[in-house]
RNA sequence: GCGGACGUGGUGGAAUUGGUAUACACAACAGACUUAAAAUCUGUCGGGAGUAAUCCCAUGCGGGUUCAAGUCCCGCCGUCCGCACCA
């Protein structure tokens, strides 16, 4: 019996599939369609094991659906524009185009090696002019429809490199390359009006259009859109008191004469207001800064945080008090006005009133600046005399007090009453507000799709005429320095205005790469050389029936794609609102990271693990490390959570010394992360094992599937990535375990290869099975039912466990005849086919199956073989399992109760006690309550 | 900081969605086969007590609801993801 040889079998079957056109999408035959799509990869260089997991999942679904009788579309392409190509160009001098396309070539080869059931005829990269020309067409259509506009917005500006920085390029407020403190700078940029669609994007989350999406993603999008009803109202300036000096300087500018507009969702707490706060980039702050150098310094400090909301919100709450005061609308208090770093200009009106008793941030702020903290909402059951606000604000509902005309009202009533009062006073009105902001699509970079617009001094901003598309990137550009190569290109931007013919300039911004990925699924479904989308084909294939990708895309990519779909529908390209009927978000593949003493990262695939002296079952976080001073006996703990290079160096040294002296390990109930280190295979230099993180090139913790495929074949790699861990959870890559997949492949091959030609000797359509075959047939049909259900519900790890169980039974069963064995083996082959397709074809051929197994219809379970006549029930006494009984599957409760009470193991626990109650849950359990 | 998830043996995890906790696999250990190794096969494998039958404890920690809680509720702790210019 020959051993299964994936090196021969895998290329052979890949060639046969290709020759048979097995995975070419076909809309004919009147079959239902099924569009499976995995988020397409960024061509970073090589496929990593995380990609394999993602695409193996999609492939299981695609192959299963094909077998289940669907016309399947399963395409692949490349999200090919983006910063890494441009960074590589800066570092190595290679052109982004060359870098990208050569990566694509490598990665395409790697994906093909995995034996995915992809229709490669539809492949494209978003950086192909044949793709982005249509993106430019779409944009012009959107612009015409009024979905696109320009406005000023803030960017991170590196004053040394003179370039715009992405948020990820701002590290601790400094530019990653130059180290210069970043500034915020205003640029005029292109925006798409996603806020116009906010209501529908929100409504679709809950009205059934997105029933196939996971709840957590819908919740995240709902929160991201952040619709809230509130009150937009003005606080008027309080008259300057005579004691104030320089009152002239503190006069508000004319546009703010009637006050500062704030937005609040809690107008009921107005009586608890103790200050007004405005954003550092609020026009009023800018105005007062002209005559106040202290304020200028404060604002510029705030701007050093960059533009990311995370950095702003995490920063310590700080404020700068202005010389003006606002009048409280309901009483005669005067409220101080602060410019505060935690107020966001993008949200609401860029100004708030602070109610310290009802908002934690306001409370922290009030404590810091010693402002009043009047409690105004009394929690249910609290005593108004003794109730005080200590460390925590009370944000829940309650009854209003200390609040004038609102006293005694519930939170809900008080919100309505306060809103009505403010409206009556003419100070404001109820408004709906979104957290969602319009989508800024401008990027000041070369490697993106050019925005097809021309700036003319006379005509303003003019669309590039349809006939002049595509606006192609210039073939050559200068990448030797930071900044936008398109802007400094000697010729590219100089064009004549398409309207007046005068000299004009091209738009040098390119599109955000999220634009590229917001419609690729439609292009896959309906390519057309002359139009973005072939409507007929799009109507057949869309929406995507199953979309698969990482949770990290839960908000931005998915929300933008949903919005784009709406815009395309509005412009007549599509007929659907929602692009993805069902969404599955898979977990990431993570790996240990290795840090060297100088703070750099070590390679994950080139290290020898040197476990520190340990007893056999040492767990990584059970260990504490310390250095022992021999003279004093003093132990010094080694801290491991650090990023400082010096500290890491010291640690590494300490560990190395300690290995020699074997003195340094102690079990510890405290968490410590360091238990082992690794050595670089080549240099021998030690690395600390750092945190387990998402695989990324920069951290070098990427594991290549190639090596696995080389040794064990693509099937083993695919099988291993899907076994064990539930698909939605992160999985930590370990080398152990692939061997297990390889063993399984051989066990299946072993089971099948000894029955060569068996399918030719029996007629599976004509059952010839006796009583002796029943146990095996029950197992076979149980496996069909279970595995089908598991695949349908993305429980691949469970499906795989069931395949193991099926195989274990199959191997240990001896009594069954040829017919039942043939049924079991052919079923096994078909059930593993979505997971290990090459092996399955080889098995199918060996067994004598007809044609390709990938074309064979999915097996159906016989319900008659799924039922059991006897079942085993657990019996509990007072909730503790004490015994089990076997009863007929259709036994009634009385019979079950009787059997339970007479069971010896149960009697021991109930004798001499009073039976209070017997709970019989049919088919599940019996619980006897005694006292 | 805000939003979303997750936490079960040495490890990945299963638990029919409130009903026999630890399926299946990895690792480890023991044995068979072998001149030997690899491969393969068989067995053991949460902790503790006991010759054994069996009993006690255990699903991050602390409470609660229930005949019954890994699952539901409240409060903590820890880890991960996203936060609008990474893709």
Higher-confidence position of A673 and A626:
A626
Q: Which tens digits make up the pLDDT trace of A48-66?
A: 878 888 999 999 999 999 9
For the record, the structure tokens of A66 come out as: 């094909």
Distance CA A760, CA A763 (A): 8
Q: DSSP labels for A556-602? A: HHHHHHHHHHHHHHHTTS-S-S-SBSBEEEEPPEEEEEEE-TTS-EE
Across all strands, nucleotide nearest A513 (CA–C1'): B87
As a 3-state breakdown, chain A gives helix, strand, coil percent values, each rounded to 5, of 40, 20, 40
Q: Is the CB of A870 under 7 A from strand B?
A: no
Q: Provide the CA A874 to C1' B54 distance, Å, integer.
A: 17
| Tally of helices (H runs) and strands (E runs) in chain A | 27, 38
CB of residue A739 closer than 7 A to nucleic acid strand B? yes
Least confident of A87-91, A184-188, A560-564, A785-789: A87-91
Which burial class, exposed, middle or buried, applies to A21 when counting CB atoms under 10 A from its CB (0-12, 13-18, 19+)?
exposed
Q: Is the CB of A921 under 7 A from strand B?
A: yes
Give which of A30, A187, A45, A57 is closest to A116, Cα–Cα: A57
Closest CA to A450 of A496, A505, A494, A511: A511
Residues 806-825 of chain A sitting with CB below 7 angstroms of strand B: 808, 811-812
Q: B33 C1' – A605 CA distance, angstroms? A: 36
What separation in angstroms does the CA of A529 have from each of A121, A129, A532, A535?
Answer: 14, 11, 8, 13
Indicate the pairing of strand A915-921 with strand A925-930: antiparallel
Using a 7 Å CB cutoff, list residues 768-787 of A near strand B: none
Question: What are the pLDDT digits (tens) for A427-468?
Answer: 999 999 999 999 999 999 999 999 999 999 999 999 999 999
A396 CB closer than 7 A to any strand B atom: no
Residue A505: phi and psi, rounded to 5, are -125, 140
**Residues forming beta bridges with residue A325, ordered by sequence position:** A336
- The Cα–Cα gap between A766 and A784 comes to 19
List, in sequence order, every residue forming a beta bridge with A508; answer none if it has no partner: none
Taking alpha carbons only, the member of A816, A819, A840 closest to residue A830 is A840
Give first-to-last CA distance, chain A, whole Å: 64
**How far apart, in whole angstroms, are the C-alpha atoms of residue A329 and residue A181?**
42
Task: Work out whether strand A583-586 and strand A623-628 pair parallel, antiparallel, or are unpaired.
Answer: unpaired
Nearest in space to A463 (alpha carbons), one of A128, A190, A125, A152: A190
Q: Which nucleotide is nearest to A726 (CA to C1')?
A: B13
Residues 6+ apart with CB under 8 A from A542: A35, A521, A522, A525, A526, A574, A575, A576, A579
Give A551 CA → B69 C1' in Å.
30
For the CA atoms of A376, A379, A383, A389, the dihedral, rounded to the nearest 10 degrees, stands at -60
Residue A903 Cβ < 7 Å to strand B = no
Residues 327-356 of A, Cβ under 7 A from nucleic strand B? 346
A751 touches strand B (CB under 7 A): no
The residues near A793 (Cβ < 8 Å, ≥ 6 apart) are none
Q: Which of residues 215-244 of A have CB within 7 Å of strand B?
A: 215-216, 219-220, 223-224, 226
- Beta bridge pairs of residue A149: A191
User: Pairing between strand A260-264 and A228-235?
Assistant: antiparallel
Which residue's CA shows the smallest distance to C1' of B28? A616
pLDDT attached to residue A593: 55
pTM (predicted TM-score)? 0.88
* CA–CA dist A615, A524 (Å, integer): 55
Average pLDDT for A355-371: 90
Find the Å distance, CA of residue A329 to C1' of nucleotide B74.
39
Query: Alpha-carbon distance A710 to A716, whole Å?
Result: 10
The label of the residue with tokens 């001896």 reads: A814
pLDDT at residue A703, rounded to an integer = 61
Both tokens assigned to A601: 């990262």
Cis link prior to A470 (omega < 30° from 0)? yes
CA of A623 to C1' of B15 (A): 31
The reply to whether A792 has its C-beta less than 7 Å from any atom of strand B is: no
**Cβ of A672 less than 7 A from strand B:** no
C-beta separation of A602 from A652 below 8 A: no
Does residue A181 lie within 7 Å of nucleic acid chain B, judged by its CB? no
As a rounded value in angstroms, the CA-to-C1' distance for A739 and B36 is: 23
Nucleotides of B under 7 A from a protein CB: 1-6, 10-16, 19-21, 23-28, 39-42, 54-56, 67-69, 78-87
| Residue A922: CB less than 7 A from any atom in strand B | no
Task: Work out if A164's Cβ lies within 7 angstroms of strand B.
Answer: yes
Q: Which nucleotide is nearest to A553 (CA to C1')?
A: B82
Counting other chains too, the contacts that A658-665 makes at CB distance below 8 Å and 24 or more residues apart are A658/A612, A658/A625, A658/A627, A659/A610, A659/A612, A659/A613, A661/A628, A662/A613, A663/A628, A664/A612, A664/A625, A664/A626, A664/A627, A664/A628, A664/A638, A665/A612, A665/A613, A665/A614, A665/A623, A665/A624, A665/A625
Evaluate if residue A905 carries a pLDDT over 90. no
Q: What is the pLDDT of residue A394?
A: 86
Higher-confidence residue of A283 and A381: namely A283
ipTM entry:
0.94
Q: Measure, in angstroms, how far nucleotide B5 C1' is from residue A583 CA.
A: 16
Torsion region of A179: left, alpha or beta (phi above 0 gives left; psi -120 to 50 gives alpha): left
CB A360 within 7 Å, strand B: yes
- If you search the block for the tokens 């005559």, which residue do you land on? A291
Rounded average pLDDT over A411-423: 94
Residues across chain A: 931
Asked whether strand B has any atom less than 7 Å from the CB of A555, the reply is: yes
Q: List the alpha helices (DSSP H) in A145-282.
A: 198-206, 215-225
Q: Give the tens place of pLDDT for each residue, A311-329.
A: 888 888 899 999 999 999 9
Residue A540 CB in 7 A reach of strand B: no
Asked if the model's pLDDT at residue A652 lies above 50, the reply is no
Nucleotide nearest to A215 (CA to C1'): B4
For residues A223-239, average pLDDT? 92
What band does A614 get if pLDDT is binned at 50, 70 and 90?
very low
**Between A634 and A794, whose confidence is greater?**
A794
Residues 6+ apart with CB under 8 A from A121: A24
- The torsion defined by the Cα of A153, A156, A160 and A162, in degrees rounded to 10, comes to -40
Q: What is the mean pLDDT of residues A899-910?
A: 87
- Shortest CA–C1' contact from A167: which nucleotide? B85
The distance (Å) linking the CA of A76 with the C1' of B71 is 39
Q: Judge if the beta carbon of A287 is closer than 7 A to nucleic acid strand B.
A: no
Mean model confidence pLDDT for chain A = 85
Please name the residue whose C-alpha is nearest to the C1' of nucleotide B68. A879
* Contact between residue A339 and residue A295 where contact means Cβ atoms under 8 Å apart: yes
- Distance of C1' in B49 from CA in A170, Å: 60
Q: CA A312 → CA A40, A185, A666, A689, distances in Å?
A: 32, 16, 41, 32
Q: Is the CB of A731 under 7 A from strand B?
A: yes
Dump pLDDT digits (tens) for A118-174. Answer: 999 999 999 999 999 999 999 999 999 999 999 999 999 999 999 999 998 888 888
């Amino acid at each position: 019996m020959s051993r299964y040889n994936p090196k021969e079998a895998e290329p052979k079957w890949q060639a046969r599939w290709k020759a048979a056109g097995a995975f070419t999408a076909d809309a004919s035959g009147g079959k239902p369609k099924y569009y499976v799509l995995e988020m397409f990869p960024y061509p970073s260089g090589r496929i990593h094991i995380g990609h394999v997991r993602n695409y193996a999942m999609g492939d299981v679904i695609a192959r299963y659906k094909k077998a289940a009788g669907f016309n399947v579309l399963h395409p692949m392409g490349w999200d090919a524009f983006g910063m890494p190509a441009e960074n590589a160009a800066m570092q190595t001098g290679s052109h982004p185009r060359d870098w990208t396309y050569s990566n694509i070539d490598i990665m395409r080869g790697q994906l093909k090696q995995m034996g995915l059931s992809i229709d490669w005829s539809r492949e494209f990269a978003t950086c192909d002019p044949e793709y982005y020309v249509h993106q430019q067409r779409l944009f012009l259509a959107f612009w015409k429809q009024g979905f696109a506009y320009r406005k000023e917005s803030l960017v991170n500006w590196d004053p040394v490199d003179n370039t715009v920085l992405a948020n990820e390029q701002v590290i601790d407020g400094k530019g990653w390359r130059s180290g210069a403190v970043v500034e915020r700078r205003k640029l005029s940029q292109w925006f798409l009006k996603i806020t116009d669609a906010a209501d529908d994007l929100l409504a679709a989350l809950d009205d059934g259009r997105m029933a196939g999406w996971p709840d957590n993603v819908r919740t995240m999008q709902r929160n991201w859109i952040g619709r809230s009803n509130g009150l937009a109202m003005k606080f008027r300036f309080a008259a300057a008191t005579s004691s104030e000096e320089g009152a002239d300087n503190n006069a508000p500018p004319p546009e703010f004469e009637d006050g500062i507009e704030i937005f609040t969702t809690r107008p009921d707490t107005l009586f608890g207001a103790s200050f007004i706060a405005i954003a550092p980039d609020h026009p009023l702050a800018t105005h007062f800064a002209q005559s106040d150098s202290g304020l200028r310094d404060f604002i510029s400090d705030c701007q050093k945080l960059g533009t990311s909301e995370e950095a702003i919100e995490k920063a310590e709450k700080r404020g700068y008090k202005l010389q003006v005061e606002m009048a409280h609308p309901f009483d005669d208090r005067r409220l101080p006005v602060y410019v505060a770093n935690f107020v966001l200009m993008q949200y609401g009106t860029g100004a708030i009133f602070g109610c310290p008793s009802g908002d934690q941030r306001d409370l922290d702020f009030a404590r810091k600046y010693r402002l009043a903290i009047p409690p105004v909402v009394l929690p249910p059951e609290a005593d108004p005399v003794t109730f005080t606000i200590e460390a925590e604000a009370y944000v829940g509902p309650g009854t209003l007090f200390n609040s004038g005309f609102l006293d005694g009202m519930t939170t809900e009533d008080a919100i309505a009453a306060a809103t009505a009062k403010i409206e009556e006073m003419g100070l404001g009105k109820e408004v709906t507000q979104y957290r969602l902001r319009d989508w800024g699509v401008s990027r000041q970079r070369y490697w993106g799709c050019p925005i097809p617009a021309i700036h003319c001094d006379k005509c303003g901003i003019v669309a590039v005429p349809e006939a002049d598309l595509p606006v192609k990137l210039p073939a050559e550009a200068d990448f030797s320095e930071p900044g936008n190569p398109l802007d400094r290109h000697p010729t590219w931007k100089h064009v004549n205005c398409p309207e007046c013919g005068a000299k004009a300039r091209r738009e040098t911004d390119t599109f955000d790469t999220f634009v590229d990925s917001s419609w690729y699924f439609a292009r896959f479904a309906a390519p057309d050389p002359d139009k973005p989308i072939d409507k007929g084909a799009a109507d057949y294939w869309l929406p995507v029936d199953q979309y698969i990708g990482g949770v990290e895309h839960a908000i931005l990519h998915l929300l933008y794609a949903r919005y784009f779909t709406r815009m395309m529908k509005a412009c007549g390209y599509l007929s659907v609102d929602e692009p993805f009927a069902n969404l599955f978000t898979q977990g990431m593949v993570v790996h240990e990271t290795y840090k060297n003493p100088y703070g750099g990262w070590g390679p994950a695939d080139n290290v020898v693990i040197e476990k520190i002296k340990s007893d056999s079952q040492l767990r990584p976080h059970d260990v504490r490390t310390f250095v022992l001073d021999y003279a004093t006996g003093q132990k010094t703990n080694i801290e491991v959570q650090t990023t400082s290079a010096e500290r890491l160096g010291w640690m590494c040294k300490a560990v190395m010394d300690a290995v020699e002296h074997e003195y340094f390990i102690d079990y510890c109930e405290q968490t410590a992360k360091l238990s082992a280190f690794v050595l670089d295979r080549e240099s021998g230099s030690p690395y600390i094992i750092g945190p387990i993180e998402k695989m990324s090139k920069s951290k070098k913790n990427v594991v290549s599937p190639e090596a696995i495929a080389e040794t064990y074949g693509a099937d083993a790699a695919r099988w291993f990535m899907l076994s064990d861990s539930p698909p939605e959870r992160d999985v930590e890559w370990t080398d152990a375990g692939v061997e297990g997949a390889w063993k399984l492949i051989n066990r299946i091959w072993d089971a099948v290869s000894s029955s060569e030609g068996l399918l030719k000797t029996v007629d599976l359509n004509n059952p010839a099975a006796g009583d002796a075959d029943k146990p095996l047939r029950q197992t076979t049909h149980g496996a069909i039912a279970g595995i089908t259900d598991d695949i349908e519900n993305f429980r691949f790890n469970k499906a795989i466990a069931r395949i193991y169980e099926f195989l274990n039974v199959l191997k240990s069963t001896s009594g069954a005849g040829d017919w039942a064995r043939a049924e079991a083996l052919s079923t096994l082959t078909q059930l593993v086919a979505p997971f290990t397709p090459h092996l399955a074809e080889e098995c199918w051929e060996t067994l004598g199956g007809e044609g390709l197994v990938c074309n064979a219809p999915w097996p159906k379970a016989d319900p008659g073989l799924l039922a059991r006549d006897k079942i085993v029930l657990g019996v509990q006494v007072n909730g503790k399992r004490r015994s089990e009984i076997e009863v007929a599957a259709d036994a009634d409760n009385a019979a079950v109760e009787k059997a339970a009470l007479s069971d010896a193991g149960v009697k021991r626990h109930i004798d001499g006690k009073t039976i209070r109650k017997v709970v019989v849950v049919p088919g599940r359990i019996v619980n006897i309550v005694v006292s």
